[in-house]
Amino acid sequence: MTFDELLSTFEPKLAAAFREAIESIKSTIVLKVVVERLERGDVEGAIAAMQLDAEAFASLEIAFAEAYNAGGINEVANLPKLKDPSGGRVVFRFGVRNPEAERFLREHSAQMVTRIVEDQLVAVRAALVEGLTRGKNPTATALDVIGRMSNVTRRREGGIIGLTSPQERFIATARAELLSGDPAQMRHYLTRERRDKRFDRTVAAAIKAGKPVALDDVARMVGRYSDRMLQLRGEMLARTETMIALATARDHAIRQQIDAGKLVEGDVKKKWRTASDSRVRHTHRILNGQAVEMNGTFVGPSGATLRYPGDPEAPVSEIIGCRCFLQYKVDYLASVVRRFRAEAV
């Protein structure tokens, strides 16, 4: 499979696993318990009742591991069939149980889930505190966070569970715009790309009347806006984490062959390739076609260094949504001859 085919296969799986985790969290929240704690002013108790636990994202960790494993296996499968000078076949294999592979999966999965959970806590805490500070009804405050039950799907829709803390602010300001009664603020809401445009007439009527949008309408509109933001969140998370899994696995696959003595490090070069379209970030467009040694790094115009696209050790701004990939160039014949000579000695 090509790198793009691997992305197309595993990115939806990670996105689905993320959605399942959020749905699982929302479906187990008991509204009554959250409201009772908010009525006492116990924000931390209300958050604890939502059970925003790392364990809820186990399926996401599994999907990440599957993508990593597939990336490594695919990389060695694409290596050519070679024979050493004595006629024996050189067998390339990827070991997901390799110590480096196990360490990466363990550490990165933990970091990924920890970031998601910690960001959740920040976003939820901010929303609850803001609601209570404004004297908002505890039930309405809780529903704005956990979502409202749909009469059609019988699932909670809207809310901010699953969103990043910056996205939670987008939701809060969108709600404030609709409730402001200020024509300028309500017009600004109409510029929000992820809004549900089916409600635009309702907003236009409120602007014309110089009145806030009705509370029930605001709840529906913000709920749809939040759902679309959650979809975006899942897509970007899946894209970034799938890239990290596949790119790191490819790097590890080549290194495993070097460690096993089947390839010689000095015979391996890696070349940066972009998706070659207008969506490629400027810093990566400059890297396109550049080649370095196997242990070399690519240095972007910002000064950021990357071992490969999606390098988890690189700045977040360099890996979010990245679609670049590496071409590994190996002088296989030279590696085989060197290995044979070394064994002969």
Give this prediction's pTM.
0.90
User: Predicted confidence band at 302 (pLDDT cuts at 50, 70, 90)?
Assistant: confident
User: Predicted confidence band at 83 (pLDDT cuts at 50, 70, 90)?
Assistant: low
What percent of the chain is predicted at pLDDT more than 90?
Answer: 82
Amino acid 80: pLDDT: 81
Across 77-91, average pLDDT: 77
Indicate the burial class of 228 (C-beta count within 10 angstroms; 0-12, 13-18, 19 or more).
middle
Q: Are 144 and 159 in contact (CB under 8 A)?
A: yes
According to DSSP, the residues that pair with 89 across neighbouring strands are 83
Single out the residue of 93, 57, 74, 79 nearest to residue 10, CA to CA: 74
| pLDDT value at 66 more than 60 | yes
**What is the phi-psi region of residue 261: left when phi exceeds 0, alpha when psi lies from -120 to 50, beta otherwise?**
left
3-state secondary structure of 320: coil
| pLDDT value at 344 more than 60 | no
Please say whether the dihedral angle defined by the alpha carbons of residues 75, 80, 84 and 88, taken in this order, is positive or negative. positive
Structure tokens at 65: 């591991």
Q: Which residue has the higher pLDDT, 255 or 84?
A: 255
Which tens digit of pLDDT belongs to each residue from 151-204? 888 899 999 999 999 999 999 999 999 999 999 999 999 999 999 999 999 999
| pLDDT value at 85 more than 80 | no
Across 228-236, average pLDDT: 96
Q: How far apart are CA 85 and CA 31, in angstroms?
A: 71
